[in-house]
Each structure stands twice: as structure tokens, then as C-alpha cells.
A and B are shown apart, each in its own frame.
Chain A
Amino acid sequence: MSYCSAKFPVVAGMADSSYILLDDVVFTRGNRRIFDGVSLSVPRGRVTAIMGPSGTGKTTLLRLIGGQLRPDSGRVRVNGHDVPSLRRKDLYRLREGMGMLFQSGALFTDLNVFENVAFPLRVHTRLPDDMIRDIVLMKLEAVGLRGARDLMPAELSGGMTRRVALARSIALDPDLILYDEPFAGQDPIAMGVLVKLIRELNATMGLTSVLVSHDVPESLSIADHACIVSDGRVIGEGTPDELRKHTSPKVRQFLNGDPDGPVPFHYPAPDAQADWGGTLGGGSRRG
């Protein structure tokens, strides 16, 4: 039981099987349309992987779920709540039941490991100090870093930073964890540790987990459910096995990592012959 979800219960009748529901979400940043009608659902109590090529707005998707961004149109429902229409106060309360693991870890650089993990507890609860200490050490033990409690963030390796950030995001026993590229830039051991942690935490804490990633084998190895987002749309959704058997060329190219295919190797460019012939401007040649 979360410390916080009790204060902000599920809307009656909304406790269906999907924890997050995106319905026809359109989102534009500047002149660029990032999502053009994305619909997907995240089943409760499962690990859902959202995959896609770099630059398809996977992190933006997490920010829409967390209410840091508002869609231009469409619905974003989390645990029965319509996120974009929540008042600021309610949104902050909803977030107390969410944990988010940022790609950079985003630890507070002026606090040590212990205080980083204790931060949400100190802000959101009035627990006595010795109880906070016990909880923090339990969370650090869960990620294997109880012994690193006195280190400062600058003294941690990349993998350790992410594990501390993970401990911090589960400090309040959330119902939902959002992982932003948890495997990016990790060595094989750190990656193995993170894969194990995500899987185990989901099982032991009864969480719903969403991870966005472009690391296909790791993501599919722990996901119960996966979606592939490309060009502002969901191009494939289902269990990992269903996706592996998917017939769409785009899905196949992404899962197999083919260098050329529906997603071309070349960034759109003018005709090559004209470019090298010097009849076009741009580049270092002033036209």
C-alpha cells in the first residue's frame, strides 16, 4: 500500500485493467508534429515497453503521462484520472503515486545518496527520522547500494547513479514507475542489474511499469506488453512474441536493426548529383 495513493483514490468504476490509456493523442512542438494520433494502453501490474527509433518522442510520451506536457488534443488517462484536465494541486498529488527514472538519473547534486532517497519521504510524509532511515536503507538495499549511502552523486558511476535514482523513485512505494531509457549507455553488467531490478521490483511491489527504450533485446526480455512508436504513431503493439512475428516492414526493420528500409539510411537531402555538381547552395559553400 502506498503512503500516498490512499489520499488520492482511484475514481470509482475506473479501476479497469489498463492503468494508462492514451487515446488519439496529438502533440506538436513548434512546427513539428511529434504525435499524430497515438493510442495505446498500459495494462495494470505489468511491464510495458514503449520502443521506437531515437527522436520519435518517447520521452515526450512519458512527460505527457506525467502531466508535464499537455496534448493538443486527445485523452491521457492515468488510473482513471484525465491528466491534462487535473488541477495543479491534484496533479501533484497524482504524481506522488508515480515514480520516474530519468535517463540522467537527475539526482540532486547537493545531497548525498541517503538524502536523495530520503527527499520524497521528508517532503511528503511526516515520518520520524528513524523510520525514514529504515525505509531509505531498505530501498538502497533493494538496489544493492546500502553501502554507498554516504557518497555524493558525483562519486557514483553511471549505473550506480541510475540505481540510486531508482531507489529514490520507489521511496514512496508508488503504483507506477516510468523508466526513461533505463539501459542507454550502460555496460553489460549494469544493464543486467537494471533488467533484473525492473523485473523484480515490478513483481515484488505490485507495480505497473512503463519503460521507453530503443534497446530491443533487453526491453523485450522483460516486457509483458510492448508498443513500437514511429513517425508519431503506434506501428505495432502486443506481447513480445506477437511483435517478433509482426509482418509490417517498419516493425521488422526496427526489431532487426536493419540499416536501411522503410526508415531510410539517408536524412532527406537534395539530389546528390546536383549537390556535388555545385549547383546547389548550403553547406560550406555560400550560395
Chain B
Amino acid sequence: MASSLMDGIARLGRRGLDIIASLGRAGVFLWGALVGAPRPSVGGPLLIQQIYRIGVLSLAIVIVSGLFIGMVLALQGYTILSDFGSESAIGQMIALTLLRELGPVVTALLFAGRAGSALTAEIGLMKATEQLSSMEMMGVDPLRRVMAPRLWAGFISMPVLALIFSVVGVWGGMLVGVEWLGVFEGSYWGNMQASVTFADDVLNGLVKSLVFGVACTWIAVYQGYDCVPTSAGISAATTRTVVFSSLMVLGLDFVLTAVMFGSF
């Protein structure tokens, strides 16, 4: 009985050490990838290619989701606000919700599922087929050649995607609130303009999405790089990417919100 308890504690300790070692490896990995990027003539085209694959190809899912979330917000908001006779505040509500919360968070969750899983699978397969090894043996550092452009592309794409999400959401909210439910268009835009500030709302939202972008891309690329190079290993790594990214985004969101808006 006592020995099984000790075994349990030992296992817990080993798991803790594994996690810390893995965090350390991930940190060294990030450092190695971001320091000393390839020269601009080589790195530029690689970066643009990755921004296209990670960012531009995620546009469709981000725009469609943003549109529907904006429309749902308008419907729900109208039902509640009209009870108090303040349905004219609907523009303000939609814009603040999107810019501060839903834009960065939902975009990051979509990003983890759309781009993050693809990154992990791609890099994992490159590892399994020895492409990363052969690059190393050719004297080309895969951290700089393969990982760095993907990381930077993720960091750059996420804030832009989140911004597009919010803009489309605000427009979707207007479609439902103004065109369908009949809120006065002047008050929709006017209240929004009066209440949304650049520094508090737009900038904080962008900072959030940048943080989420770093977290999601780092997790995705590292999971691919660190995976066991078999089909089961790649599948497990892809799952971990989506699960870890989603949890990380929601956890970080709480922390960031508390720091940014928590001064009661």
C-alpha cells in the first residue's frame, strides 16, 4: 500500500520533471528559431509564402465566423437591451465585445484548429520523412529555414485576422440590428464611435491577439518539431496542438483581461 503510494508520488514527480524539461526544450527551440533568421533575400520569400498559407488561407473561416458571431450578438443583444428600452446601445455592445474579447479569442481558437494543426502535421511529417535531418546534413539549420518563417508568419497573421474578424462582426451586427430589427443607424454607429477608444479597446485587443498568436504558433510548430516521427506520434502531436492552444488561449485571456480591464 505504502509502496504504491510512493510509486504514485514518484510518477507525479517524473511527470512534473518531464513537463519542465519539455518547457525548457520549447524555450531553447524558440530562441534558436528566432535568433539569426536567414538573410532577407532568402527569408523574405519564405515568410511571404508562409503568411499566405497560414494567414491568407485562414481568411475564409475567419470572415464567415466573424459575420455569424456579429449577427448572433445583434440578435441576443437586441432581445436583452430592448427590455430596458436601450436597443440603441447595441452598436456599442457589439463593437466592445468583439474588439475586447470575441475577436482575439475566437480567431485564436479558429487559428489553432485551421492553421495550428496543419503546421504540426506538416512539420511532423517532414521529420518522419527525414527531410529535417537531411537539411541539417546539408548544413542548413531547419530551425531557421523551416521553423522561423512559420513562427513569424503566425505572429504577424493573428492580429490582422483578429482585426478582420472584429470588422466583419461589426458589419454583421449592423446587418441584423439595423437592416432587420430596425435600430436607428445613426445611433448604431454614433454610440459605437462615442464609446470605443483606440488605446483601451482596439489596442488592447490587438495586444491580446498578438499574445495568442505567439502562443498558438509556438505550440503548433514546437509540437511538430518535437513529435515522435510515426503516424501515431504525429496524430497525438496534432491533437496536443489543438488542445494546448485552446486551453492556453482561454487561460491567457483571463490573465490579460484581468490586467487590462481589471482596475475596478
List A residues at the B interface (Cβ < 8 Å).
4, 66, 68, 92-96, 98-100, 102-104, 106-109, 119-120, 122-124, 165, 168-169, 172, 178
Q: Please, which residue of chain A has its CB at the minimum distance from the CB of B145?
A: A123
Q: Is the CB of B131 within 8 A of A123?
A: no
Check B136–A95 contact: CB distance below 8 A.
yes
Q: Can you list 27 A-B contacts with CB-CB less than 8 angstroms, sorted by A residue number?
A: A66-B136, A93-B139, A94-B139, A95-B137, A95-B138, A96-B138, A98-B139, A99-B137, A99-B138, A102-B133, A102-B134, A106-B129, A106-B131, A106-B133, A106-B134, A108-B131, A119-B140, A120-B140, A123-B42, A123-B138, A123-B139, A123-B140, A123-B145, A124-B139, A165-B134, A169-B138, A172-B138
Q: How far is B137's CA from A172's CA once the two chains are assembled, in angstroms?
A: 12
Contact B137 A68 (CB under 8 A): yes
Which residues of B sit under 8 angstroms from A119, Cβ to Cβ? Answer: 138, 140
- For the complex, give the distance between the alpha carbons of A140 and B126 in Å: 24
A-B interface contact total, Cβ < 8 Å: 58
The interface residues of chain A lying within 8 Å CB-to-CB of B138 are: 95-96, 99-100, 119-120, 123-124, 168-169, 172
B232 to chain A, nearest CB (A): 18
Q: Count chain B residues whose beta carbon lies closer than 8 angstroms to a beta carbon of A.
A: 13
Cα separation A93 to B141 with both chains bound (whole Å):
11
6 residue pairs, one from A and one from B, having the closest CB atoms? A106-B134, A106-B130, A96-B139, A95-B139, A100-B137, A92-B139
What residue of chain B has the Cβ atom nearest to residue A98's Cβ? Answer: B137
Instruction: Point out the residues of chain A lying under 8 angstroms from B134, CB to CB.
Output: 100, 102, 106, 165
Question: How far apart sit A114 and B139, CA to CA, in the bound complex (Å)?
Answer: 19
Contact with A along B126-164 (1 / 0, CB 8 A): 000111011011111100010000000000000000000
Interchain nearest-CB distance for A134 vs B (Å): 20
Q: Tell me which of B42, B129, B136, B145 contacts A109 (CB under 8 A).
A: B129
Given contacts A95-B137, A123-B139, 19 further A-B pairs with CB under 8 A are A68-B133, A92-B139, A92-B140, A94-B139, A95-B139, A96-B138, A98-B139, A99-B137, A99-B138, A100-B134, A100-B137, A104-B130, A109-B129, A109-B131, A122-B42, A124-B138, A165-B134, A172-B138, A178-B137
Least distance between B141 CB and chain A CB atoms (Å): 6
Which of chain B's residues have a CB closer than 8 A to the CB of A93?
139
What residues on B are CB-neighbors of A109 within 8 Å? 129, 131
Q: Whole-angstrom distance between the alpha carbons of A165 and B135 in the complex?
A: 12
Closest chain-A Cβ to B237's Cβ sits at a distance in Å of 19
A99 to B137, CA, bound (A): 7
Is B42 within 8 A of A66, CB to CB?
A: no
**Docked complex Cα distance between A124 and B135 (Å):** 12
Q: Complex formed: what's the CA distance from A89 to B137 in Å? A: 13
What B residues does A94 contact at CB under 8 A?
139
Please determine whether B141 and A102 come into contact, CB atoms closer than 8 angstroms: no
Nearest CB to that of A108 among chain B residues? B131
A-chain residues with CB within 8 Å of residue B42 when the two chains form the complex = 122-123
Give the CA-CA distance A103 to B137 in the complex, in Å: 14
A255 shortest CB reach to chain B, Å: 29
A149 CB, nearest partner CB in chain B, Å:
19
Give A66 to B139 CA distance when docked, in angstroms: 10
CA distance A98 to B138 in the complex (A): 7
Report the minimum CB–CB distance from A179 to chain B (whole Å). Answer: 12
Of residues 104 through 137 on chain B, the ones whose CB sits less than 8 Å from some CB of chain A are 129-131, 133-134, 136-137
Considering the chains assembled together, what is the distance between the CA atoms of A103 and B133 in angstroms? 12
